């Protein structure tokens, strides 16, 4: 018989039995467990120990993975490089260019016999060169496609890396070889014993071995929003993807990965997708047949105008079937709006798309009409086949004007800037889960921060204690405390704290010991150690399994109580916020350990003389108390019982307690926080503290941080008073009442998570001021989820935060530090500015190139800038410039200005002044060179040339000057707020100057050696100096433009003021901007290839592998569920359900399921 590490290789229970076991609930589940012999017997069958767990040896783990599967759901393989190349080739404008180039290439070899006399007139050389332009365009198309595909490929890999980093952060407490270890969830196997606690997101299916007051949110599976009570005696089944809302316990893992309940559902989804994809391909074939019958014109119109609403890149009718599924069902207002910047950019790109298309079409029409009139009417020539070549040339010029007109570099600039920032922000301890959060953070006007751990160090120590009427400001001597009181207190602290909280010796002997688990509990355990006692010995005497009942800490109780068997009866220990625990105390130990009645007067005196002074020093005050239930004769502070008390009657059980001690716990303010808050205030961001602590503690910390100054006239409210001020007589929250409170509120103490949510919602929805608030919130607890989701940007704590909080957040602070939020603000503002810089640069080039091509076509029947030249300019201004301008590092002066807010125009008056000012200069120079340049520079004119003629120095100088002006204007574009010194910080960005120098050198090579391919003729040194002179002139001209006072410019010239149009802000998951939601719908041009990076849709949603919003998914509801599979998507729908008929339970909420971190890459 085969063995693994000395045990049989055959398990006593099969994979199928375990799968079936997990499909039942409640009494039915219990019956099935008992049929297998009960939880202990199942442990034996799986060769694991309920107390020691698995051995953790490699051979054992590997064998379990082979038999029961590993805790991973395999992601769909990424698209291959060739697939990405094929996709990049699908763009309609790209196809038009390819066809035109091929026709041009073909015609250059076509020499009909009747043309012989004409050809004789042509220079013998010219015939050889006619094919070069067509080939050059084809080659540039190929380059563009390969670069696009490569960009897509690397971005997808990068974002998969980010995803695996987020998943790698998720670890879970597992007992192995009698030690609790934090193990990555992918390494959990069947047979593992996991410790589960408040705030956990369960990584696998299992059965409970032991539990305390356990309540689980199963809405992700059932759609039921009520929390389900779990216990080994009545409902021991716990499932992956569900959240622990209260309590703690131990579970035996029985199903992982694709065999868990969540995994089974994902597998069904995956199968459904594959089936749908086959149907889509079939539909596309049919649609193409229909298209040939007359839908082509519509398809092109959509592609050229950037119609974002309709079909996908091919304009297929099949894709309209998916319309209802593409727009997620309106959920109860929890989905965030599309980010402000996206909405403005989408609108801008569409408008420029329309303008560009119009001018392109006009250019072609004018060129064709002029050619026809001149050739057939004025010269009276007869139609010949070779004239097709002329018409194709005109078409190529028209398409190229369109290529240059449309700023397809915009999505690239946004993506590059965000991707670059996200990478850098990781080093600044910001793990960004949703890309747009990074940019939104730059507009933040308010931050609502927690106190503990964010503003403070979260390393807590007991610094004051009040025991037996003795107040000590240092750790007291254990012998000085009456023996009975001391022993009871030590026992109470050791037993009545989560067994996951403990003090560990530090690896560095000079450093203080490590605190593991809840920091407040660690402070109390540290106090026990400081008294020279061992909490571990007490815990060995009372293991968790022996507890009768545990009332775990939650935000309503603000205390924790544990009941243990004691001398034939029971003893209840309680610890919690002083004012709450003391109200439940009827007795207290007085001088020398005498038991005294705790009267109302004594309570008031204790609060006044002990608790308030502690709180005013910024200490958190905790009281420890107990109560005995005895079967025999009861003392004054004990309760006589004949039978087991009703533990569910919590109010009566946790009452008439005996107070043992009050301790003051210090959590010092982080040294860097006051400076960070000062920076925020300077940057126009209001910081508010929202804490569960008592109002005096909160005030003290707020003053130390600099949120409050002693002289300020700001509000400090407790949760109760806050609620009484914002609710009307019926108890309903009223916006106009909130508007009276929030502007002056700085500290909200003793607040519940609901208060936090109400405040955030009230601020975001407030219209009390012209500038709407953009609110960031920090949170760490399970109950902070709603506030984190509601906020414009939610920050979760990486160290202290629960899994639930991290799931709800946009950014995870890996060091839990407030000053990291300030760095996020800086990066966010930098993203906004980078995009503005790129816009300022690109729109100048667009305006000039389009006007030059259009007027050239009208005036001299030719575009001074040839097709290949314009493609090169487009390459410079789109790809390279967006890379150069999007990678500027943030500077401290970003925090010197007020936030832009929701209503700031995208293109400010200063930017518009720069764009128009530079365009005037460039157009003046180019037209001067075009019409009189040949005379000034004493060179032959290049105007009115025949098709296929040699390139002239005249037109080469125009092209070169235009590129030089563009390059020097790129330096101007680095400043958007009217700064004079455009060179400041130039050498801090190696990417910028490397690209700039590289582009300049490429230009020299193109001019001197480009020949027929680029329609250039080599220039002399004098001519080069003229070009450089005109180029550098843009820097001087820029200084003149800066001198014009912006105030004098009419406000109408700023663009994008006010809230963007509602139709552009559709609620949608995450960062698929309308620009890119349907890949290539707004991709107005071929070179989107180069720039697209599949922009947001595939970059940000690289993990939505199976879901392609282009696909026509027959079942709209299924499509809706699949859309939600995006791993980095906001999740808050409690009820969006998907009906699979026979496949799965009818009320299956796939969205909440997908929040399961380790299954995020499922579909």
Active-site residue set: 450
Q: Which two tokens stand for residue 688?
A: 């508010």
Strand pairing of 619-630 and 638-640? parallel
Produce one character per residue of 372-402: b if its CB has 16 or more CB atoms within 10 Å, e if not.
Answer: eeebeeeeeeeeeebbebbbbbbbbbbbbbb
Q: Rounded distance, CA 166 to CA 191, Å? A: 26
Q: Quick check: 390 and 371 in contact, CB under 8 A?
A: yes
Q: Which residues pair with 356 in a beta bridge?
A: none
Q: Rounded distance, CA 712 to CA 707, Å? A: 10
Q: Quick check: 923 and 952 in contact, CB under 8 A?
A: no
Burial class (CB in 10 A: 0-12, 13-18, 19+), 261: buried
| 3 state DSSP class of 3 | strand
Strands of 715-718's sheet in order across: 430-432, 811-813, 793-797, 775-779, 446-449, 686-690, 745-749, 715-718
Burial class (CB in 10 A: 0-12, 13-18, 19+), 914: buried
Produce one character per residue of 446-458: b if its CB has 16 or more CB atoms within 10 Å, e if not.
Answer: bbbbbbbbbbbbb
Q: Which residues contact 720 (CB under 8 A, 6 or more apart)?
A: 750
Q: Which two tokens stand for residue 532?
A: 């020279």
Q: Quick check: 771 and 442 in contact, CB under 8 A?
A: no
The phi, psi pair for 143, rounded to 5°, reads -55, -50
Q: Rounded distance, CA 542 to CA 544, Å? A: 7
Q: Rounded distance, CA 1143 to CA 522, Å? A: 48
How many CA atoms lie less than 13 Å away from 269 in the CB half-sphere?
36
How many CA atoms lie less than 13 Å away from 166 in the CB half-sphere?
30
From first CA to last CA, the distance across the chain in angstroms is: 40
Q: Quick check: 771 and 903 in contact, CB under 8 A?
A: yes
CA 716 from centroid of its chain's CA atoms: 32
The angle formed by the CA atoms of residues 1061, 1063 and 1064, to the nearest 5 degrees, is 70
Strand pairing of 619-630 and 657-666? antiparallel
Taking the CB of residue 633, how many other CB atoms lie within 10 A of it?
7
Q: Which residues contact 1091 (CB under 8 A, 6 or more apart)?
A: 148, 408, 409, 411, 412, 878, 879, 882
Q: Which residues pair with 629 in a beta bridge?
A: 570, 639
Look-up of token digits 């305006």:
847
Strand positions, DSSP E, 520-678: 549-551, 559-566, 569-577, 585-589, 595-597, 619-630, 638-640, 657-666
Q: Which two tokens stand for residue 444?
A: 């933040």
Report which DSSP code applies to 573.
Answer: E
Helix (H) / strand (E) element for 844: namely helix 818-860
Q: Quick check: 156 and 1099 in contact, CB under 8 A?
A: yes
Q: Rounded distance, CA 93 to CA 552, Å? A: 64
CA 975 from centroid of its chain's CA atoms: 28
Q: Quick check: 423 and 638 in contact, CB under 8 A?
A: no
CA of 466: how far to CAs of 36, 838, 920, in Å?
54, 63, 79
């Amino acid at each position: 018989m085969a063995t693994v590490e000395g045990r049989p290789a055959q398990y006593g229970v099969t994979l199928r039995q375990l799968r079936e076991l997990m499909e039942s609930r409640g009494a039915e589940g219990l019956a099935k467990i008992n049929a297998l012999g009960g939880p202990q017997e199942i442990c034996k069958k799986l060769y694991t120990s309920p107390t020691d767990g698995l051995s953790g040896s490699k051979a054992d783990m590997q064998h379990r993975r082979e038999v029961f599967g590993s805790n991973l759901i395999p992601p769909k393989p990424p698209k291959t490089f060739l697939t990405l190349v094929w996709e990049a080739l699908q763009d309609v404008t790209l196809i038009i260019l390819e066809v035109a180039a091929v026709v041009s290439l073909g015609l250059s070899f076509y020499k009909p016999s009747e043309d012989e006399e004409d050809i004789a007139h042509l220079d013998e050389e010219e015939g050889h060169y006619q094919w070069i332009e067509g080939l050059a365009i084809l080659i540039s198309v190929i380059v563009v496609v390969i670069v696009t595909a490569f960009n897509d490929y690397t971005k997808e890999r990068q974002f998969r890396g980010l995803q695996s980093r987020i998943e790698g952060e998720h670890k879970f407490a597992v007992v192995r070889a009698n030690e609790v270890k934090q193990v990555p969830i992918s390494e959990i196997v069947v047979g593992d014993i996991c410790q589960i606690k408040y705030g956990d997101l369960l990584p696998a299916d299992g059965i409970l071995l032991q539990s305390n007051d356990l309540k689980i949110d199963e809405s992700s599976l059932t759609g039921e929003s009520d929390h389900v009570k779990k216990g080994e005696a009545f409902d021991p089944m716990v499932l992956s993807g569900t959240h622990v809302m209260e309590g703690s316990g131990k579970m035996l893992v029985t199903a992982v990965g694709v065999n868990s309940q969540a995994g089974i559902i994902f597998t069904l989804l995956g199968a459904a997708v594959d089936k749908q994809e086959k149907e889509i391909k079939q539909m596309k074939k049919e649609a193409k047949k229909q298209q040939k019958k007359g839908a082509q014109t519509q398809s092109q119109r959509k592609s050229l105008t950037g119609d974002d609403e309709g079909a996908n890149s091919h304009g297929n009718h099949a894709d309209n079937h998916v319309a209802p599924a593409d727009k997620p069902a309106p959920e109860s207002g929890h989905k965030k709006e599309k980010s402000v910047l996206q909405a403005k950019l989408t609108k801008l790109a569409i408008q420029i798309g329309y303008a560009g298309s119009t001018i392109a079409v006009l250019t072609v029409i004018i060129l064709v009409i002029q050619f026809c009139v001149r050739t057939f009417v004025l010269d009276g020539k007869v139609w010949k086949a070779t004239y097709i070549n002329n018409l194709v040339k005109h078409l190529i010029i028209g398409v190229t004007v369109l290529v240059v007109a449309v700023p397809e570099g915009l999505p690239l600039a946004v993506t590059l800037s965000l991707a670059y920032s996200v990478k850098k922000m990781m080093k600044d301890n910001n793990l960004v889960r949703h890309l747009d959060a990074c940019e939104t953070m730059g507009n933040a006007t308010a931050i609502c921060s927690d106190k503990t751990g964010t503003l403070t160090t979260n390393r807590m120590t007991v610094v004051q204690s009040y025991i037996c009427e003795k107040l000590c400001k240092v750790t007291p001597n254990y012998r000085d405390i009456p023996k009975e009181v001391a022993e009871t207190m030590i026992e109470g602290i050791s037993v009545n704290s989560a067994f996951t909280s403990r003090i560990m010796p530090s690896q560095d002997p000079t450093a203080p010991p490590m605190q593991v688990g809840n920091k407040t509990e660690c402070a109390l355990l540290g106090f026990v150690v400081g008294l020279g006692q061992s909490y571990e010995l007490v815990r060995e005497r009372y293991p968790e399994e022996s507890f009768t009942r545990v009332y775990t800490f939650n935000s309503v109780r603000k205390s924790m109580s544990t009941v243990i068997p004691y001398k034939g009866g029971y003893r209840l220990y309680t610890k919690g916020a002083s004012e709450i625990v003391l109200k439940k105390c009827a007795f207290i130990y007085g001088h020398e350990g005498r038991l005294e009645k705790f009267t109302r007067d004594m309570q008031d005196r204790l609060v006044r003389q002990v608790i308030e002074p502690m709180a005013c020093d910024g200490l958190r005050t905790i009281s420890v108390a107990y109560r005995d239930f005895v079967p025999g004769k009861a003392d004054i502070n004990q309760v006589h019982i004949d039978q087991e008390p009703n533990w569910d009657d919590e109010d009566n059980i946790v009452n008439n307690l005996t107070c043992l001690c009050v301790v003051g716990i210090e959590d010092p303010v982080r040294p860097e926080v006051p400076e960070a808050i000062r920076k925020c205030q300077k940057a126009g961001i209001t910081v508010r503290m929202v804490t569960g602590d008592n109002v005096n503690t909160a005030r003290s910390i707020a003053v130390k941080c600099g949120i409050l100054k002693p002289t300020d006239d700001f509000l400090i409210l407790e949760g109760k008073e806050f609620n009484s001020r914002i609710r009307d007589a019926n108890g309903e929250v009223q916006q106009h009442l909130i508007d009276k409170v929030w502007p002056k509120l700085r500290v909200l103490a003793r607040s519940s998570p609901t208060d936090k949510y109400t405040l955030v919602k009230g601020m975001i929805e407030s219209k009390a001021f012209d500038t709407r608030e953009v609110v960031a919130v920090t949170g760490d607890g399970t109950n902070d989820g709603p506030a984190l989701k509601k906020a414009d940007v939610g920050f979760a704590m990486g160290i202290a935060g629960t899994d639930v909080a991290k799931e709800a957040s946009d950014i995870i602070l890996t060091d839990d530090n407030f000053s990291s939020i300030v760095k996020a603000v800086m990066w966010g503002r930098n993203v906004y500015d980078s995009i503005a810089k790129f816009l300022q640069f690109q729109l100048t080039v667009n305006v000039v190139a389009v006007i030059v091509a259009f007027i050239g076509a009208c005036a001299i029947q030719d575009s001074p800038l040839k097709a290949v030249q314009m493609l090169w300019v487009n390459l410079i201004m789109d790809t390279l410039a967006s890379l150069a301008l999007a990678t500027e590092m943030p500077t401290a002066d970003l925090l010197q200005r007020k936030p832009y807010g929701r209503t700031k125009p995208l293109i400010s008056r200063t930017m518009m002044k720069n764009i128009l000012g530079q365009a005037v200069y460039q157009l003046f120079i180019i037209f001067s060179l075009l019409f009189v340049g040949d005379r000034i520079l004493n060179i032959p004119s290049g105007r009115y040339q025949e098709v296929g003629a040699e390139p002239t120095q005249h037109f080469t100088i125009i092209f070169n000057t235009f590129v030089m002006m563009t390059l020097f204007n790129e330096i101007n574009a680095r400043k958007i707020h009217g700064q004079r010194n455009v060179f400041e910080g130039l050498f801090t960005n190696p990417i910028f100057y490397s690209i700039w120098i590289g582009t300049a050198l490429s230009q020299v090579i193109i001019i001197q050696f480009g020949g027929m391919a680029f329609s250039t003729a080599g220039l002399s040194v004098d001519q080069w100096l003229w070009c450089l002179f005109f180029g550098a002139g843009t820097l001087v001209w820029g200084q003149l433009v800066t001198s014009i006072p912006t105030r004098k410019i009419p406000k109408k010239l700023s663009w994008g003021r006010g809230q963007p149009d509602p139709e552009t802000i559709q609620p949608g998951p995450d960062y698929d901007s309308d620009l890119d939601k349907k890949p290539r719908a707004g991709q107005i041009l071929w070179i989107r290839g180069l720039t697209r990076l599949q922009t947001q849709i595939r970059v940000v949603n690289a993990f939505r592998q199976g879901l392609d919003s282009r696909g026509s998914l027959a079942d709209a509801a299924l499509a809706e569920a699949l859309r939600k599979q995006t791993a980095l998507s906001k999740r808050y729908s409690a009820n969006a359900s998907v009906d699979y008929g026979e496949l799965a339970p009818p009320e299956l909420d796939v969205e909440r399921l997908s929040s399961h971190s380790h299954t995020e890459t499922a579909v």
